[in-house]
Amino acid sequence: MASVKRVEYKSGRVVYRIVICQGYDKKGNKLVKNLTYSVNQSATPKQQEREAKKYAMDMEDKLKYGYDFNAEKMSFEDFAYKWLESVKDDLAYGTYAGYKQVLESRILPYFKGYKVANIKTPHIEAFYKTLVSEYSYGTIKRFANVLNLIFKTARRYQMIESNPCEDAKKPKNKDEETGLKFFTPKQAIMFMKSLDLTYDVVYKGHQRIDDTGKPYYVREYTESYTVPTQFKVFFMLSLFCGFRKGETLALHWNDIDYKNKTISISKSVGMTEHGFDYKDPKTKKSVRKVSIPDDVIPLLKQYHSEYVQSLWKHGTAWQGDRENGGNLFIQSDGKLMGHTTPYQYFIKHLNRYNDWVQNNPDKAKAGGFEELPMIPLHGLRHSCATLLNYLEVNIIEISKTLGHSTCSTTMNIYAHSFEEQQEVVANKVNDFLRMNA
């Protein structure tokens, strides 16, 4: 810990003497770095002390990770790797791995040879333009976020006077829709009902090989198909409880409290140093209990019955976890469901449903079915937030349900989609005024 001492000159000027310990030499002598920092002279003593302590902490980090204070000498590549190493302990492994991949795939190859001080806003914008033809706007924002964090750190360390990313404009693909993708409340109900439909799946003629190795031809045929119960449960929990994919995949049967109609979220599945495995939830607030809608309870019980039957059928061949009641979402042999499986099935189901609507217009119209937009799996979580806001659940409860660290996080993410529903609020006010006129 750095030593920080206030010094006030006769002229009234205030500085702070900072001593940072850098370890010991071979003879056991302490190695120190002495610095003098001039604070804001118009600030209060407490404000000056906070400013000096923050500077001392920043300088301690610089020395710890070997940063050269001269940004004109340090290459961007060296600084980027040292920045990545400095934030590693504060990030989930998946986030760290994502940052590293973003850096090494495009950022470092582009800025290789640049010095930190020589990278300006036009260079950043020129880099963004190289990404437009290959990446979506959302992915470009990921590159921009990593760059911004790097230069924000360089600015904090006083290596550069300003962050070149702050004013850099990110290009948009003119044909690409931006913003959150989710179901409206009406579409959410339609999606829920789509899970109970029966679909005719046509299999084209194809070659097969029998047990003896002899090939034979199978003519085109049609099979009726329904959505398996476990996928119904997965999607219903995502849509009406707002769980993240990793949180849903990590659920065990013992996490369900039928008596109190709640589900406990205490873990997640995601990228770790050992591959995809269990890990802590995204934030401390992500550890939570969420109420289960009454209509989901019978579906959960039906799925549990099917689950137990499958377990007994496999016997010793069962590969699943038997602790805590076992995982909810599994492969055919009981192993934990693959992390890409829910997304793949979700997209397949939306395509199958939309095809059914197109091919059966009379049935669809009679049942109140319309085509649904193609949204990502995470869009079900966004749909949950939008639905809760539509039902006038207060922002604090929405934030708790989603497991956000603060209410401001919820508002920052969903402000635009919430604003789109203001017409509903206005209509309710109009109705109230007409009733009481």
pLDDT digits (tens, 9 = 90+) for 42-61: 889 999 999 999 888 888 77
Q: How far apart are CA 402 and CA 247, in angstroms?
A: 11
At residue 299, the pLDDT reads 96
pLDDT per position as a tens digit, 145-201: 999 999 999 888 888 889 999 999 988 765 555 578 899 999 999 999 999 999 988
Q: Which regions in the chain score pLDDT beneath 70?
A: 1, 24-26, 64-71, 173-178, 416-437
Task: Read off the amino acid at residue 154.
Answer: A
Per-residue tokens: 384? 């949950």
Q: What six digits make up the tokens of 85?
A: 């190493």
- Please enumerate in sequence order all residues whose Cβ is within 8 A of that of 22, keeping only pairs 6 or more positions apart, or say none: 31, 32, 33, 63
Residue whose C-alpha is closest to residue 232's, from 162, 182, 298: 298
C-alpha span between 196 and 294 (Å, rounded): 17
Cα distances (Å, whole numbers) of residue 267 to 263, 291, 400? 12, 17, 16
Which tens digit of pLDDT belongs to each residue from 337-348?
Answer: 999 999 999 999
pLDDT of residue 407: 85
Q: Which amino acid is at 356?
A: W
Q: What is the pLDDT of residue 200?
A: 87
Q: In this structure, what token pair is assigned to residue 206?
A: 């194809």
Q: What DSSP character marks residue 107? A: I
